[in-house]
A and B are shown apart, each in its own frame.
Chain A
Amino acid sequence: MPVYERGYRHWEPSGRREAAPWWVIARRGILAPLRTRRFLALLLLAWVPAVVKGVILYFSFQAGDLMKLLGGSWSAVDAPGFFAFLEKQRGFVLIVLAIIGTPLVARDRSENGLALYFARPLTLRDYVLGKLLIVLFYFLIVTLAPVLLLALFGYLVTSGATGLDMLLLTPLRATVYCLLVGTSLGLVLLALSAAGRRTVFIAMSWLLLFAGSALVAKILALFGGPWMKLLDFPAQYEHAGSLLFGAKAPLEYPRLISCLLIAGYTVGAWAVLRRRIRPVEVVS
C-alpha cells in the first residue's frame, strides 16, 4: 500500500490523565514478570516458609509448650521471631532479585535503549525510581507481605493475647526495616545492572556479592577474627536490623559500623547509577 494511503493522523489528546514517568516504568516492570509461569511458581515457593510458620504458630498456641520447643524461632510470635523469619527469606530474596533486578538497566543499555528513554521528558530520578520500585515491589512480596499477614494471623489465633505489639509494632518495625533494606539492596542491584550489559555476568556478580561475600567473610573470620565479617555484605543488614527488632546482635562489632557500611553501599550505588545511566555514552 502506498505511504500516502496509510492512516497517519495527528494525535488529539483524549483528556485522560497521564501517569508520571516513574510510575509507567514501575508498572510495566512489575507486571511483565507475572506473565511467566516459572516466576509465579518461584513466588509461591517463597511463601512456603510463611505457610509453615503460620501452621507452627497455630499448633504451638493449640498444643502449648512442647510445640513451642520443637518449633524454635518458627513458633516465636515476638519481634525477634519475625526478624528471624525475615532473615530466613534471604535465599528467596537472592534468587527473586537476581531474576528481576539484573536485567533492569543492563538490557536497556545493551540495545541503546537509554537513548529512547531520555529522548522523552523524563529525568534520571524518574528512571531510577521506576526501576527501584520494581525491585522493591518483589522484595516486599517475599519479605514484608508474609510478615504482615503472619502478624495478623498470629494476633487472631492467639485471640489478641500477643497484644498491640503483634498488631502494630511488629508490622511497623518490619515495614521500616524492609523499606530501608529493600531500597538499599535495590540501588546496589541496579548499580550492578548498570555496570554491565550481560545479564549472566551481572547475576553472577550479585550472587558473589550476596552469598560469596558471606562465605569468604566466614572463612576469613576463622583466621583473622570477627572484624573480617565486615566483608559479609548481607550480614551488615541483619546486624543493623537486629537493633530495630530488639534481637541479639549477630556480629561482634558495634551496629553503627554496619549502618555506616550500608549507607556507604547505598551512596556508592547511587554514584554508579548517576555515572552509568546517561543518554549519551562518551567513548574515549
Chain B
Amino acid sequence: MDVPQREVNTTETSISVRNLSFAYVAAPVLREVTFSLKPGAVGLLGPNGSGKTTLLRALLGHLPLAPGAANVLGHDMALSPRAARRRLGWMPERGGILPGMSGVGMVSYLGELSGMPARDALQRAHEVIDYVGLAEERYRPVLDYSQGMRQRIKLAQALVHDPAWIFLDEPTSGLDPKGRVAMLELVRDLAVNKGLGVLLSTHLLPDVQAVCTEILVLREGRLLAHERVAADGAAAARVFEVEGVGDEDAFTARLGVGGATVVREGRFALVTLRDGRGADVILEAAAATGFAMRRMRRQVATLEDVFFDIVKE
C-alpha cells in the first residue's frame, strides 16, 4: 500500500508549516497557515486571540497537526516531536516557573530534562543565568522573584540546552521600561550575535521593530502576511501615494492583479507593494487602463502602517 509522503522541508535549522489548521472543540484557532522560516528574529504579530500562542504550541508538538504538517529542524512534528524539542526553547507568557526551586536549581533541572548530563546542566545553568543578568539572585527561590526576574529566569531555562530556535511568548509582558529594553537587548543579541532562531510572539509592535527582521501577521487564525522588516524597523513593503484621472475602479483592479493593495484616501490612492515589487507595477496598470497619473510619491511606511493595513484588510 502506498503511504502518502509529506512534502515538508528537511533543512535542519529551518521551520516550515503547511496548511496547518487547529480548532479547540469547534472553534477554529488556526486556519490553513503556511510559511517557512530560516534562523533569524521573526516577529509573530496579531491582535489578542489571533492564534499566536496556539501556533507556537503547535510548533512545539503540543497540538495535533492534522490537517496540515509542520517540519521543525528537520523533524516532522506529527512523527517525532520529542526529537525536535531537544533543540527548541520555550518561554511561555503565563507562569512558567517551578515553585520550590532556586533559580539555578530550576534551570539545571530543566536542562537535565532536555537531555543534558547533570554536571553539564548545572554548569550551563550558571552560564545562562549570568547571561540573562541574574547572577546575584541565582540561589533565591524562584517564587520570590519579581516579575522582571521571572521573565529573565524563563529566558534562561529556554536557553539552557542551547536550542537552535527559541519561541518567546510575550517576553516583555509585565516589565517596566528598563526591564523591557534589557529583555529586548538579550533577544536581539541571541538572534544577531549568537545565531539562534527567535520566534517572538507579541502584540507590541515596538518590540518587533526593535528585534525582528521578519514578521508573520495572524488574524483570526489566518496568516495574513509574511514580510521582511528593514534594519531601521520600517516595513520593507513600499507604499505610494497616487493621484490621477480616469477609470479608478479598472486601475485598482489591475493593481490587484499585479499583487498590490489599494486603499482610497480622499483624492489619493495608497498603493502598497510587497515582495520587492517596484513602481513599474503602478505605471503598467495606469498605462493598461488609461489612467492619467498626475502625481506619484513614495511614502515611508512604518511597520505599524503595514500591520494596521494588513489587519484592516
Residue numbers of A with Cβ under 8 A of B are 1, 3-4, 6-11, 13-14, 16-19, 21, 24-25, 28, 32, 103, 107-108, 110-113, 115-123, 279-280, 282, 284
The contact of A279 among B57, B86, B98, by CB within 8 Å, is B57
Write out the residue numbers on chain A whose beta carbons fall within 8 Å of the beta carbon of B300.
none
Q: How far is the CB of B150 from chain A (nearest CB, A)?
A: 9
Instruction: Check A119–B90 contact: CB distance below 8 A.
Output: yes
Most buried by B among A24, A25, A110: A24
Q: Which residue of A lies closest to B58 (CB)?
A: A280
Q: Interface 1/0s, chain B 153-167, versus A by CB < 8 A?
A: 000010101100000
Q: Tell me, yes or no, whether B133 is within 8 Å of chain A by CB.
A: yes
Instruction: Check A116–B96 contact: CB distance below 8 A.
Output: yes
Instruction: Check A121–B115 contact: CB distance below 8 A.
Output: yes
Please tell me which stretch of B66-74, B186-194, B261-269, B303-311 contacts chain A, meaning at least 4 of its Cβ atoms lie within 8 angstroms of it.
B186-194
Given A8-B127, A10-B162, A111-B97: A18 and B115 interface contact (C-beta under 8 Å):
yes
Q: Tell me, yes or no, whether B177 is within 8 Å of chain A by CB.
A: no
Instruction: Check A16–B117 contact: CB distance below 8 A.
Output: yes
Write out the residue numbers on chain A whose beta carbons fall within 8 Å of the beta carbon of B94.
112
Given A3-B185, A3-B189: A119 and B116 interface contact (C-beta under 8 Å):
no
Instruction: Check A116–B92 contact: CB distance below 8 A.
Output: yes
Q: How far is the CB of A115 from chain B (nearest CB, A)?
A: 5
Instruction: Check B88–A8 contact: CB distance below 8 A.
Output: no
Instruction: Check A7–B127 contact: CB distance below 8 A.
Output: yes
Q: Which residue of A lies closest to B105 (CB)?
A: A28
Of residues 123 through 148 on chain B, the ones whose CB sits less than 8 Å from some CB of chain A are: 124, 127-128, 130-131, 133, 143
Q: Tell me, yes or no, whether B205 is within 8 Å of chain A by CB.
A: no
Q: Tell me, yes or no, whether B99 is within 8 Å of chain A by CB.
A: yes
The contact of A116 among B62, B90, B124, B159, by CB within 8 Å, is B90
Write out the residue numbers on chain A whose beta carbons fall within 8 Å of the beta carbon of B95.
110-113, 115
Given A111-B97, A113-B96: A120 and B109 interface contact (C-beta under 8 Å):
no
Given A6-B133, A115-B90, A116-B157: A16 and B119 interface contact (C-beta under 8 Å):
yes
Given A8-B131, A21-B113: A116 and B98 interface contact (C-beta under 8 Å):
yes
Given A113-B96, A119-B60, A282-B24: A4 and B113 interface contact (C-beta under 8 Å):
no
Write out the residue numbers on chain A whose beta carbons fall within 8 Å of the beta carbon of B57.
279-280
Given A11-B116, A279-B62: A6 and B131 interface contact (C-beta under 8 Å):
yes
Count of chain B residues with Cβ under 8 Å from any Cβ of A? 50
Q: How far is the CB of A231 from chain B (nearest CB, A)?
A: 35
Residue numbers of B with Cβ under 8 A of A are 24-25, 57, 60, 62-63, 82-83, 85-86, 88-90, 92, 94-100, 109-110, 112-120, 124, 127-128, 130-131, 133, 143, 157, 159, 161-162, 182, 185-186, 189-190, 193-194
Write out the residue numbers on chain A whose beta carbons fall within 8 Å of the beta carbon of B60.
118-119, 279
Given A3-B185, A123-B82, A280-B57: A17 and B117 interface contact (C-beta under 8 Å):
yes
Instruction: Check B113–A117 contact: CB distance below 8 A.
Output: yes
Q: Which residue of B lies closest to A112 (CB)?
A: B95
Q: How far is the CB of B86 from chain A (nearest CB, A)?
A: 5
Write out the residue numbers on chain A whose beta carbons fall within 8 Å of the beta carbon of B118.
16, 19, 24
How far apart sit A264 and B130, CA to CA, in the bound complex (Å)?
A: 50
Contacts A/B (CB < 8 Å), 12 sampled: A3-B189, A7-B130, A11-B120, A21-B113, A24-B113, A111-B143, A113-B97, A116-B97, A118-B62, A120-B85, A120-B110, A280-B57
Instruction: Check B130–A6 contact: CB distance below 8 A.
Output: yes
How far apart sit A120 and B61, CA to CA, in the bound complex (Å)?
A: 10
Instruction: Check A18–B116 contact: CB distance below 8 A.
Output: yes
Q: How far is the CB of B226 from chain A (nearest CB, A)?
A: 25
Q: How far is the CB of B190 from chain A (nearest CB, A)?
A: 8
Instruction: Check B109–A28 contact: CB distance below 8 A.
Output: yes
